[in-house]
Amino acid sequence: MAFTYSNETVMQAFRLYSLLAMNGSAAKERLQEYMADDEVRGLVDQFASEVDCAVIAAGDELYLIPLVRLSPFHVSNDYMKRTYLRASAVNADLYLMYLAMIVLIGAFYDSYQSLEPTRNFLPLDEWAVLVQERIDSLKEHDEEQLKQFEREFSYNWSAIIEKWDTMDDIKETAKRQTGNTISRLSFLDTVRRFLLEQQLAEEVGPGELALTGKTKVIVGRYFMELEYNRGILEFLYSLDERKKNAKEEDQHAVDLEN
């Protein structure tokens, strides 16, 4: 059964969608407008779906988020390189940037299958340690396995390892990284800037990041879903799970012996 909408409803929905398309978000008044009228909300959602996006409500705002890489609202690799990375940046820099973002988001949850955050903030130096743990985990796979995973996930894991390893070691005495040096903290500071500008994270203290309401909604709806993460989370964290299971089995065997 086809729905018939009044011209006023269609135009109201289109104006709201146009605002989201132009700014990526809309403030409290528009959120109320979206939530109050089922017909307007349905039309806005349809408009967004046509460009492979979704509309989400988080806090007092509405957001338009791309769901697939082919969406015209997806942040392109060229834009990321041009805006956030050095002029000499290559795809490996982007791969490492994506990995750092996955690690940051994962740090707030007790597993890649959980939906509720288990911590309030993440210090920059701890973020660097967690990225190092993921890199070390990747290194436990031999070269042939990594090549197989590269074909499966379209991520160049070997290049990610090499890019991270060739960066300068973190200087524990550094209080501020401005991006002028190629250090791990400096690189994470670049990722931090992207997350802040995209409203995916917020600063709650010096060098301390928290997830925004927008990110929590995205994680709850899409981040943990295999359809969207393509198994990357399971791959990155499954080694931890195998180690945990092996440790529990070893402990169980010891208990039986005793």
Whole-number pLDDT of residue 112: 57
Please indicate, yes or no, whether residues 11 and 124 belong to a single structural domain of this protein.
Answer: no
Q: Which residues pair with 56 in a beta bridge?
A: 63
Contact yes or no for 39/9 (Cβ under 8 A) = yes
Chunked mean pLDDT (size 10), the chain, 258 residues = 79 94 89 92 93 89 81 73 83 89 86 74 94 89 75 76 80 45 85 92 93 88 63 62 49 52
Whole-number pLDDT of residue 82: 85
Using the 8-state DSSP alphabet, how is residue 168 labeled? B
- What's the farthest any 2 CA atoms get from each other in the chain? 78
Q: Which domain holds residue 58?
A: 7-66
Domain count across the chain: 2
Nearest in space to 206 (alpha carbons), one of 189, 181, 183: 189
Please indicate, yes or no, whether residues 57 and 85 belong to a single structural domain of this protein.
Answer: no
Rounded CA separation 74/41 (Å) = 22
Please indicate, yes or no, whether residues 89 and 60 belong to a single structural domain of this protein.
Answer: no
Please indicate, yes or no, whether residues 93 and 155 belong to a single structural domain of this protein.
Answer: yes
pTM over 0.85? The answer is no
Please indicate, yes or no, whether residues 130 and 211 belong to a single structural domain of this protein.
Answer: yes
Please indicate, yes or no, whether residues 108 and 41 belong to a single structural domain of this protein.
Answer: no
Asked, for residue 170, whether it belongs to a domain, the answer is yes
Question: Phi/psi zone of residue 59: left (φ > 0), alpha (ψ -120 to 50 degrees), beta?
Answer: left
Using the 8-state DSSP alphabet, how is residue 231 labeled? T
Residue 137 structure tokens: 């985990």
Rounded CA separation 109/118 (Å) = 5
Whole-number pLDDT of residue 246: 41
* CATH, residue 23: 1.10.10
Asked, for residue 48, whether it belongs to a domain, the answer is yes
Rounded CA separation 197/199 (Å) = 5
Whole-number pLDDT of residue 5: 84
Please indicate, yes or no, whether residues 118 and 229 belong to a single structural domain of this protein.
Answer: yes
The identity of residue 155, as a single letter, is: Y
Asked, for residue 124, whether it belongs to a domain, the answer is yes
